[in-house]
Amino acid sequence: MVRAIVGANWGDEGKGKITDMLACDADVVVRFQGGANAGHTIINEYGKFALHLLPSGAFRAGAVNVIGPGVALYVPALLKEVGELKSRGVPAPNLLVSDRAQVVMPYHIDFDTFEEERLAGHAFGSTRSGMAPFYADRAAKNGFQVCELFGPQDALLDKLTRICAIKNTLLRHLYQKPMIDPEAMLELLMAWREQLRPYVGDVSKLLRDTVGKGGSILLEGQLGALRDLDHGIYPFSTSSSPLAGYAPVGAGLPLNAIEGVIAVTKAYSSCVGAGPFVSEIHDETEAGKLRALGGDAGEFGATTGRPRRMGWFDCVATRYGARVQGATELALTNLDALSEYPEIPVCVAYEHEGKRLDDFPCTPLLDACKPVLETRPGWRSDIRGLTDWDALPDAAKAYVRFVEESVGVPVTLLSTGPGRDEIIRLDKKA
């Protein structure tokens, strides 16, 4: 069985926990897009971890963890994560890196930083991990596939020289920054080649063989539907597609291989970075309260450490996100964070110039939208760690059913805490 685990919102929905939990039955876990620009927080018997490139099946001895061809591979970040896991007593993950994946170069990160600095007040809120310059080079055919690192060095140097001529023109005339030395870049790529050598292989063949044997594959997305380059809040988007529709492309599978799509959403909303956020809580005291309740370390970006912007559950955005993801089921996370509220506001629609909107609009309209808020009854009791649906207060059950009805997709996984086992499996409920 092949299932995609993707975000219904702005990212940071809890995909890492859901993947880590479901990976106990998986043969292969695949990261299919994005790079080290976002993190998946995982809490299990080994401790608390923030993974940026490693798939969240890294803690499961029986799973092969795959970096697919659609991933922006920053080699130092990947190797650092593998080393950190080993240093904390986690067995070395069974890792396979696609020979067709492309590498993030140091100058991609530099250009990302320089451009955000140049834009100043008009910046997009980038994590400065090099994603936009990387994917731009990839589309312009100025990237480096992993397999090229194992080819002739003179061909690599020739390509580096041509690319650096373009980069150095921008560095000199637009950013006034030091030039790039092609030979230094070649030396770095040769070092990366040797570090990657034990992990590189043919991902497509592994996945094809696994499907042929009736095995289980999880396709793990990064960020969420509202950050998609085509269907998200453009230009406040990422530079790749976090949609389940891209998952088979970014992994190396045929489209018809996917049998289910789990869209992950929080019981409230959170967002890192710039752009419209209709259900945002603008009272910092109220936002700070929800931020502090949202997990063991609060709501702060796993990659940047930036405090997340907080908002109430957004029916409009989540319904749209689940739709473009093709969700067959929902995983609802962080329900326990709402336990202190006697009443819980939810955004049931948008208002734009006096008119009610029930469908998610494009960015220019979104900028001028206001939330239409209603309140749902709270439960005022601690539900953290519950694993039995029947043990939930009636008001908490009603909130879950409200989410299902508003989004139009059944909730099959209900997270009641950050730990791996703090979850209610509604998909197992008779």
Question: Which token pair is 272?
Answer: 């890192």
Question: Which token pair is 194?
Answer: 């040797």
The burial of 297, by beta-carbon neighbours within 10 Å (0-12 exposed, 13-18 middle, 19 or more buried), is given as middle
Torsion angle of C-alpha atoms 373, 379, 384, 387, degrees rounded to 10: -100
φ and ψ at residue 117, rounded to 5 degrees: -65, -40
| Residue 40 annotated in active site | yes
H-assigned helices in 294-416: 315-325, 363-366, 394-407
The burial of 371, by beta-carbon neighbours within 10 Å (0-12 exposed, 13-18 middle, 19 or more buried), is given as buried
CA 2/CA 19 separation, integer angstroms: 13
Of the candidates 313, 314, 328, 323, the residue with the CA atom closest to the CA atom of residue 427: 328
Q: Are 125 and 277 in contact (CB under 8 A)?
A: no
Choose, from 40, 52, 108, 231, the residue flagged as catalytic: 40
Sign of the dihedral through C-alpha 42, 47, 52, 53:
negative
Choose, from 12, 20, 27, 228, the residue flagged as catalytic: 12
Could you give the residue numbers annotated as active site?
12, 40
